[in-house]
Amino acid sequence: LEVDINNKIAEIQPTMYGVFFEDINFAADGGLYAEMIKNRSFEFTVDPFLGWIQPNSDRHSFNNNSGIGSIVKYADNPGNTNFIRVKVNNDQGYQLINEGFRGMGIKEGESYNLYLSAAKHSGNISKINVQFIGENNVVLGETSVDVTSSDWTDYTAQITANKTLAKAKLKFTFEGTGEIDLDMISLFPVDTWKGREKGLRKDLVQLLYDLDPGFLRFPGGCIVEGRTLARRYQWKKTVGPIENREVLVNRWNTEFSHRLTPDYYQSFGLGFFEYFQLSEDLGAEPLPILSCGMACQFNSGELVPMDELDPYIQDAIDLIEFANGSIDTPWGKLRNEMGHSEPFNLKYIGVGNEQWGPDYIDRYKVFGQAIKAKYPDMIIVSGSGPFPDGDYFEYGMEELKKLNAEIIDEHYYRSPEWFRENATRYDSYDRKGPKIFAGEYAAQSVAIASPENKNNWECAFSEAAFITGLERNAEVVNLTSYAPLMAHEEGWQWTPDMIWFNNLQSYGTANYQVQKLFSTNRGTDLISVTSAGKDLTGQNELYASAVTDSGTNEVIVKVVNTSNQSQEVAINLKGKKVYKKGELIVLKSEHLEDENSFENPDKIVPVTAEIQNRGGKLSVELQPYSVSVFKFKIR
């Protein structure tokens, strides 16, 4: 392999490797958002008691001697319509229990903050006792709240777990009899990411942080579009006080997915402010994607007529003000009130997710014009259909080129072979065309989104082979992200996913390790690596790309061996003096079907060793099914 350190082909954009976040697979509620109470404000439309258990009932009972909870509607509160009125007849008997998101993960010795709003309605209820319970109602920690007022009042308490359990529940009992109103019952670990109250799950953010992502795309995915327009993602409903954020049935709720998740709703506790804040924490460019007035074309395909698009466009304009505007502007003021006076420095905005055909192009045009008229420097990401080799895709690409689109978001969910065979996808792409955002991709071991799909090593190294192709084309490929990002072991709708978690644990898949390897070795400049004068794009089942890093003064060469044989290659690093000693990082596994798992999260992880060259030359044995990264300092 000839590596020409002086042959700088293009800059590697800092955004080259990022993350795509969507609230699918319980990634937000029940996942990254550390709230442990499911249906905290009794707003789930299919059943406002979902997640809550009353005495003598699997779910809830409407008629029990010890007491009863009933849903009451506020006279006027569009963001939060319901609360529960608990009538306690017998203070020894009545219990209200929350089951959490497939249970609550509690850790011995750790403390949890409880929040609730309460108002005495009648009688003499004076205290609420709160307990973690395990199997057979064994108590695993307890606290209490003294209720003092008949006006709505916010109460807090702290509860410490005396045992570790993945599936605890939270039980409420009452002292006194009568009626008490309750709402916004929340429980969060004290130990969240950055210690923020009501914040994010620390282990999950850490996994994202370790990827060093160049951007954070949010909030999806299909949930941007909604199955119907009424159920699209509306960012304005996700900012401000959390109790006023209107709960919405998730687009990935039962009837639209492979798994039974009738309890899948969006509380929007993780809303647009929190996404911007997370982007900042990760050092990633925020990349919001907004509805363009088209509901999901796989579902209703509902369209906003062109002459009624204004509110949708205004949402985009106002979002830019929310992110970047001075605190004297209406939306900038709200950002400031939420705790961020400085702008979030939003540079990119996406118009529509996976929409296609003339309807999309018509809408993209007016969005683009309106955004650019007010914010000429804003970079607009346009969608493309989900079929990377279909007619609509070709049509969309052609039309978007004519419109001088800046970045096109392409999605590929294909077989591992497809990924290996498409490492050359952008080799002949028009260098003057729109830049590419490989916005969602993942090799599917069985078929797209099949429940049988695995995050296996064949998928992961095939993605690595493909990524060398993305990197070799960094001149046009500016952003890339695997999708979906996260999945709860018991609450998923889509496989494969990059990070798996349950209520206590989380791990990065082999695909995660591939992403991390490329992202943390992204470099700053693309250079050439050739074999017999040609790019290495699958000859002898080998793939390669190379970069230099002007910050660390390194040359970094990535070689993927997708064959089942070890292969010896000679590497010649020419053009600059190279330090003798360097580093070789190898990610490999023996079998195509190998995977990381909760039991063995580190089965496939990189191993680093020292390596030496002589005058820039070295000979190495590439392991079967391996991804190797060679790094040397240069001067």
- Distance separating alpha carbons of residues 252 and 266, to the nearest angstrom: 10
The span of 54-62, 217-225, 317-325, 343-351 binding ligand AHR (CB under 6 A) equals: 217-225
226 binding ligand AHR? (CB under 6 A): no
> Between vectors from CA 151 to CA 147 and to CA 156, what angle results, nearest 5°?
40
Q: CA 422, 425, 427, 433: dihedral to nearest 10 degrees?
A: -170
The contacts of residue 629 (CB under 8 Å, 6+ apart) are 517, 521, 556, 557, 558, 583, 584, 585, 586, 606
The contacts of residue 417 (CB under 8 Å, 6+ apart) are 462
Q: Which is nearer to ligand AHR, 332 or 496 (CB)?
A: 496
The span of 135-143, 216-224, 397-405, 567-575 binding ligand AHR (CB under 6 A) equals: 216-224
* Residue 82: half-sphere exposure toward Cβ, Cα within 13 Å: 18
Say if CB 497 and CB 259 are below 8 A apart: no
Beta-strand relationship, 486-488 and 499-501: parallel
Among 359, 440, 463, 471, binds ligand AHR (CB under 6 A): 440
Look-up of token digits 């705790």: 339
Q: Which is nearer to ligand AHR, 99 or 440 (CB)?
A: 440
Instruction: Name the residue whose CB lies closest to ligand AHR.
Output: 221
Catalytic site includes residue 398 = no
Query: Closest distance between ligand AHR and the C-beta of residue 302, in Å?
Result: 17
Kindly write out the interface string for residues 337-366 of this chain, putting x where it contacts ligand AHR by CB under 6 A and - elsewhere.
----------------xx------------
Among 298, 309, 305, 310, smallest CA distance to 226 is for 298
105 binding ligand AHR? (CB under 6 A): no
222 binding ligand AHR? (CB under 6 A): yes
Among 18, 220, 350, 388, binds ligand AHR (CB under 6 A): 220
235 binding ligand AHR? (CB under 6 A): no
- 171: amino acid identity, one letter: K
Q: Which is nearer to ligand AHR, 38 or 411 (CB)?
A: 411
CB-based burial label for 160 (10 Å; 0-12, 13-18, 19+): middle
Q: Which is nearer to ligand AHR, 178 or 386 (CB)?
A: 386
Query: Closest distance between ligand AHR and the C-beta of residue 438, in Å?
Result: 13
Catalogue the E-assigned strands of 176-280.
178-189, 215-218, 248-249, 265-266
Cα-only R_g, the chain: 26
The span of 100-108, 218-226, 305-313, 511-519 binding ligand AHR (CB under 6 A) equals: 218-226
Kindly write out the interface string for residues 464-503 of this chain, putting x where it contacts ligand AHR by CB under 6 A and - elsewhere.
-------------------xx---------x---------
Taking each helix axis as running N to C, give the angle between helix 510-519 and helix 457-472, from 0 to 180 degrees, rounded to the nearest 10.
20
- Distance separating alpha carbons of residues 162 and 143, to the nearest angstrom: 12
Query: Closest distance between ligand AHR and the C-beta of residue 494, in Å?
Result: 5
Sites of contact with ligand AHR (CB under 6 A): 22, 24, 220-222, 353-354, 386, 411, 440, 483-484, 494
> Known catalytic residues?
354
